[in-house]
Structure 1
Amino acid sequence: MGKHLYQTGLIGNCAFLAHVHKNTNIEWLCWPRFDSSFIFGGLLDKHKGGEFSIKPEGEFTSRQYYLENTNVLCTEIECESGSYRVTDFAPRFYQYERYFKPLMLVRKVEVLKGSPRICVTCKPVRCYGQEKFEALRGSSHVEYVGDDEKIRLTTNMPINYVFDQQHFTLNETKYLVLTYGKHLEAPLVSTMDSFLRETIQYWRTWIKRTSIAQFHQEVVIRSALVLKIHQFEDTGAIIAASTTSLPEFPGSGRNWDYRYCWMRDTYYILTALNHIGHFSEMENYFNYITDISFNEPNRYQPLYGVTGKKQLIEKEVELEGYLGNKPVRIGNQAYEHIQNDIYGQVLISVLPLYTDHRFIFSERKDSARVVEYLLHKIEATVDEKDAGIWEFRNFANIHCYTNLFQWAGCMAAAKMARTIGNEALEKRALALRDQAAAHIESCYDEKRKVYTHAAGSEHLDASTLQLIMMGYLDPASQRAKDHLAVLEAALKTPGGLFYRYLHADDFGKPKSTFLVCAFWYVEALACVGRIEEAKEEFARLLQYSNHLLLFSEDVDEENGSQWGNFPQAYSHVGLMNAAYRIAMKLDRPIFA
């Protein structure tokens, strides 16, 4: 197999996400929520996954691109009879004092040249491809009905051609509007033209209001746009990826459902968005976390559903799998895991709400209660073994990374306690910080001058790069420089990629690199003052995107193939935070 790159782009409006293939097919779309069954899932099964395509007669070539500084995606098709463009978008803009973000996928089809003959195929499915909708023909629409679900395709194309999947000549601009639940009542063309203008304007205004340095600005902008649409705005939850069961490596069995809110991932995402001056996502997430905290008497789970659902029971679905890779998993057993770093990450996530004077912390009710709740969780788990950042399923350790974030969380709690004037809470946080630090030091290998992944272990782990970025190790210290040197010698590949670790886990030894680790490495280089190397390594990593500057979770070091769920929020976060760190170190306008 040659180099594998994902051939889709992503659109969304903070209510849903959809993947559009270069051949125009909607390869992935879950409705009505990020974690619902797909209605189009060709990504995982070409037969049971349904289809929504606008393909030409005969052979064709295609190119795909985003309208600049937007999440509006264009796919241009050239065939023997002419060429046409499909513009796909999810409407999002401000109206009536709130954001309009309907469950509505809009496809604008325009002639570019000649008289292309096209065929529209729209076959949504239910229950992860196990059931089909009944298609009912209307005068200017097709309604798809299944139990209590209704989806409608409204169009100004000849409805019989669409219903019968018949080729016809495209000679003027047409619209296809797919809606879930509520149907389109307004005039089609004028309304959709307006929605497209408003959506383009919304995204370009959102980007104008960011503070992004000129170091590789284009790719940082794209990553920011990707991250934004991974927030389920209704509740504030932010998901790790919009897909499930895209394998970390072919035949590995490491196929996971990432359509949930990981507390850890959210910390990194919010950090990246804060760096570019966007804070509403953090305030929305605070509401989501508060709701979970006050309804969670025991410990936090590592992940929750987008509505705070706790039981995410993992099961396998009978589908072909991506390129034949089984199993296809729905749900994620990691919700049962013990992962104790998350309390610290939640504390750090909401810290700016108390230390940044652009926020009025007194507006947040129960501040002391939230901090005290999280500190109590750290207190109860600081000496406990856990599954760690990589969610090992069958063994537990005192993980360096876990205690690092307990340390950092206590530092954040102390700052928040000072802000709200609670001296007792501050004192308690600092005592716990020292307790966590003692565990971190138990992971230090004096002989090799490196921190191992866990107490009593000889294995190295890229997550310990965070000791430098989080300020636990002074970046100017020899200990930080030695630690970095040992990790890069052991885990870095010739192509600038980075393995999470190289020891065997529950599924054997990893065969692909984890992209965010390579961006952590870049960030660590910048921290210790190796700026030129950081810039060079950052630029090298950009080759691992697809045609739209979208990054996957994993990369094969041998040929640069993309694997894992896609696009992966973690990878885009790593890119943004590394670019930010380099730009801050340079502290001057940079032209990449």
Structure 2
Amino acid sequence: MEKHTYQTGIIGNCSYIAHVHKNTNITWLCWPRFDSSFVFGSMLDTKKGGEFSIAPSSAYTSKQYYLENTNILCTEITTESGRYKVTDFAPRFQQFERYFKPLMLIRKVQLLEGNPHIKIKCQPVYDYGKSELEVIRGSNHIEYTGCGEKIRLSTNAPLSYILEDQYFILKDTLYLFLTFGEPLEGPIQTTADRFLNQTTSYWRTWIKRSSIGDFYQEQVIRSALALKIHQYEDTGAIIAASTTSLPEFPGSGRNWDYRFCWLRDTYYVINALHHIGHFEETEKYFDYITDISFEEGLRYQPLYSISRQKNLVEKIADHLEGYLGNGPVRIGNQAYEHIQNDIYGQALISLLPLYTDHRFVFSERKDSASLVEVALRRIEHTIDEVDAGIWEFRNSAYLHCYSNLFQWAGCSAAAKIARTINDEALEEKAVSLMKRAAKHIEDCYDPVRKVYTHAVGSPHLDASTLQLIMMNYLDPQSERAKNHLIALENELKTPNGLFYRYLHADDFGKPETTFLICAFWYVEALACVGRVDDAIREFEKLMKYANHLMLFSEDVDEETGSQWGNFPQAYSHVGLMNAAYRISNKLNRPLYL
């Protein structure tokens, strides 16, 4: 089978994310929120998904790249008749003492050489492709109505050619502003160039203020930039991916909507942001988590919407063909109903830097004791309970090693916080619960194979138990940690350095692709136990699984190296950032501030 990679890059401004294909088409864009209907969705249906392209009339080659250290994407198209460049970006910069991040997509089309013959096609849709919008021509714009808000294309390109679907020769630089709700008010050319310069400056300053070591620095920078725009700044939530229903492998039916915020990944995301020194994003995410903490009873959901909505009912959009014909297309995610007991510990660990890192002023947290106490009550309520686990098994429940590990780690964090705020009773309760969680973890140990299995009473192995080493439940220098790692790599590691989550059958049969973040966890575990040369070698192997823009998917096919699953996967990039940080620390590489 031919290797499959996603042929798109992403742009965004923490209000929205758009996917730009190498053929110049915007293949995915949801407005007004990450989890709204797509305005352009040809990624999931080439007929009903609409189109926004600047395509040539004849055969062409394409080159796509980011402006260095930005989320601004350039696509160069070369044909026999000429060459042109499309620069796509979402404006983001400081204005009037706040961030300007409108629902506005700007496309700058520049002539580079010759007389290219191009056609601009702009056909937005709504209600996941069920609604074709009414087209109204203005003096220097085209308006599209029928989705509750006005979508407007303001441009200096000939409107007649766009409306009549005609090719024309590109002679001058063209600018296209597509807006949702509030239209462009101002001159087209000077506004576009000003916004481009200010957005370029914003992203480059953001990177300059990041603490990133020199180990694979370029890849870490790209991952940091990708992670940044997966945060919905209005609430602080960070989504798993901007897409829905890109299959884990062809014909699998494992097509999930990832446009939500999973609490199970809180610790990893906070770690990645903390490592690069970005506290603004960390605190916004913290506020999102704590708002959930105070609202809920004894249970969290595994995931919430970006505005903390709970009801994420999963529906099938059966009118859409799916990615490359792979249905079903799912809107919403049934996993919100699942029981996942690791999430209480994840939330507690995410609070720890606020008390142990002196760059945060913990005395400002007036709610410290009550917040920790509530979290511990939730752990106490669920600590002996079976759950769906990190991988969200839909029809089976176990007493998972991973869930108890994060309950243990959360209680450890709670004990440290309690000591910081001088609350002895809270510390005593946290330590008591740590011991109960540890008992369940030890019940997963197989002394014959010298490995921790994925759940009490189960023989199966699971990559999530690599975290026993990274969370320091197992002393990384101990024989038990080293033997556990060897057993996992012998069973779950592939010859090409990838890692399966598990190999036993689940609700959909046996997994056929590897899960990329597990491979990065493996790299971290190698570094932790002192196998630094192995960690570097395995990290370098993983770099070839990026697409042409250093963007990573959720899943990778071991045989072909194909990318599958939702793309780009924020947590794959988090895994890369944390693995690189772990190796840098072992190498004592300098940080460039």
- Measured against the shorter chain, the TM-score band is over 0.9
Residue 131 of structure 2 aligns with which residue? Answer: 131
Residue 527 of structure 1 aligns with which residue? Answer: 528
Deviation at 1:58, TM superposition (A): 1.1
User: Which 4+ residue blocks in structure 1 deviate beyond 2 angstroms?
Assistant: 588-591
Deviation at 1:131, TM superposition (A): 0.8
Matched position secondary structure for 1:340: coil
Conserved? CA contact 1:34–1:242, under 8 Å = yes
**CA distance, structure 2, for counterparts of residue 363 and residue 335 of structure 1:** 32
Residue 223 of structure 1 aligns with which residue? Answer: 223
Residue 555 of structure 1 aligns with which residue? Answer: 556
Residue 480 of structure 2 aligns with which residue? Answer: 479
Conserved? CA contact 2:215–2:589, under 8 Å = no
Residue 207 of structure 1 aligns with which residue? Answer: 207
Residue 393 of structure 1 aligns with which residue? Answer: 394
Is it true that 1:539 corresponds to 2:540 in the alignment?
yes
Residue 333 of structure 1 aligns with which residue? Answer: 334
Matched position secondary structure for 1:582: helix
In structure 1, give the amino acid aligned to 2:67. Answer: L
Deviation at 1:297, TM superposition (A): 2.1
Conserved? CA contact 2:298–2:377, under 8 Å = no
In structure 1, give the amino acid aligned to 2:587. Answer: L
In structure 2, give the amino acid aligned to 1:19. Answer: H
1:244-259 aligned at under 5 Å gives the runs: 244-259=244-259
Deviation at 1:290, TM superposition (A): 2.1
Which deviations, in whole Å up to 9, do the C-alpha atoms of 1:546-583 show, x marking residues without a partner? Answer: 00000000000001000000000111111111110000
Residue 385 of structure 2 aligns with which residue? Answer: 384
Conserved? CA contact 2:211–2:591, under 8 Å = no
Matched position secondary structure for 1:354: helix
Matched position secondary structure for 1:526: helix
Residue 288 of structure 1 aligns with which residue? Answer: 288
Residue 51 of structure 1 aligns with which residue? Answer: 51
Conserved? CA contact 2:116–2:169, under 8 Å = yes
Residue 568 of structure 1 aligns with which residue? Answer: 569
Is it true that 1:173 corresponds to 2:173 in the alignment?
yes
Which deviations, in whole Å up to 9, do the C-alpha atoms of 1:363-417 show, x marking residues without a partner? Answer: 2231212111111100100111000000000010000000000000011111111
Residue 373 of structure 2 aligns with which residue? Answer: 372
**CA distance, structure 1, for counterparts of residue 26 and residue 48 of structure 2:** 14
Matched positions, count: 591
In structure 1, give the amino acid aligned to 2:100. Answer: F
Moved more, 289-298 or 33-42: 289-298
Residue 507 of structure 1 aligns with which residue? Answer: 508
Residue 448 of structure 1 aligns with which residue? Answer: 449
**CA distance, structure 2, for counterparts of residue 270 and residue 100 of structure 1:** 25
Moved more, 280-289 or 65-74: 280-289
Residue 354 of structure 1 aligns with which residue? Answer: 355
Which deviations, in whole Å up to 9, do the C-alpha atoms of 1:156-188 show, x marking residues without a partner? Answer: 111111222211111111100000000111111
Conserved? CA contact 1:282–1:349, under 8 Å = no
Deviation at 1:588, TM superposition (A): 2.8
**CA distance, structure 2, for counterparts of residue 248 and residue 277 of structure 1:** 33
Moved more, 364-373 or 407-416: 364-373
Which deviations, in whole Å up to 9, do the C-alpha atoms of 1:107-164 show, x marking residues without a partner? Answer: 0000000111110000001100011110101111000000522100000111111222
Which deviations, in whole Å up to 9, do the C-alpha atoms of 1:411-470 show, x marking residues without a partner? Answer: 111111122222111111111111101110000001100000000000000000000011
Which deviations, in whole Å up to 9, do the C-alpha atoms of 1:462-514 show, x marking residues without a partner? Answer: 00000001100001000000000000000000000000000000000000000
**CA distance, structure 1, for counterparts of residue 251 and residue 139 of structure 2:** 48
Deviation at 1:266, TM superposition (A): 2.9
Is it true that 1:154 corresponds to 2:151 in the alignment?
no
Matched position secondary structure for 2:289: helix
Q: 1:517 to 1:376 in 2, by over 3 A?
A: same
Q: 1:478 to 1:147 in 2, by over 3 A?
A: closer
Moved more, 203-212 or 415-424: 415-424
Matched position secondary structure for 1:294: helix
**CA distance, structure 1, for counterparts of residue 544 and residue 179 of structure 2:** 37
Conserved? CA contact 1:215–1:589, under 8 Å = no
Q: 1:542 to 1:147 in 2, by over 3 A?
A: closer
Moved more, 435-444 or 359-368: 359-368
Deviation at 1:312, TM superposition (A): 0.2
Deviation at 1:350, TM superposition (A): 1.9
**CA distance, structure 1, for counterparts of residue 221 and residue 166 of structure 2:** 40
Q: 1:296 to 1:485 in 2, by over 3 A?
A: same
1:20-59 aligned at under 5 Å gives the runs: 20-59=20-59
**CA distance, structure 2, for counterparts of residue 470 and residue 147 of structure 1:** 48
Is it true that 1:470 corresponds to 2:461 in the alignment?
no
1:398-413 aligned at under 5 Å gives the runs: 398-413=399-414
| Structure 1 unaligned spans of 5+ | none
Deviation at 1:254, TM superposition (A): 0.3
Q: 1:287 to 1:588 in 2, by over 3 A?
A: closer
Residue 194 of structure 2 aligns with which residue? Answer: 194
**CA distance, structure 1, for counterparts of residue 459 and residue 585 of structure 2:** 35
| Structure 2 unaligned spans of 5+ | none
In structure 1, give the amino acid aligned to 2:435. Answer: D
Matched position secondary structure for 1:149: coil
Which deviations, in whole Å up to 9, do the C-alpha atoms of 1:48-84 show, x marking residues without a partner? Answer: 0000000011111101000000000000001121010
**CA distance, structure 2, for counterparts of residue 260 and residue 48 of structure 1:** 24
Residue 12 of structure 1 aligns with which residue? Answer: 12
**CA distance, structure 2, for counterparts of residue 426 and residue 529 of structure 1:** 32
Q: RMSD over aligned Cα, in angstroms?
A: 1.1
Deviation at 1:589, TM superposition (A): 4.6
Is it true that 1:269 corresponds to 2:258 in the alignment?
no
Deviation at 1:102, TM superposition (A): 0.4
Percent identity (aligned) = 72
**CA distance, structure 2, for counterparts of residue 189 and residue 364 of structure 1:** 47
Which deviations, in whole Å up to 9, do the C-alpha atoms of 1:325-355 show, x marking residues without a partner? Answer: 0100000000000000001111111211111
Deviation at 1:267, TM superposition (A): 2.3
Q: 1:336 to 1:67 in 2, by over 3 A?
A: same
**CA distance, structure 1, for counterparts of residue 490 and residue 12 of structure 2:** 40
**CA distance, structure 1, for counterparts of residue 143 and residue 247 of structure 2:** 35
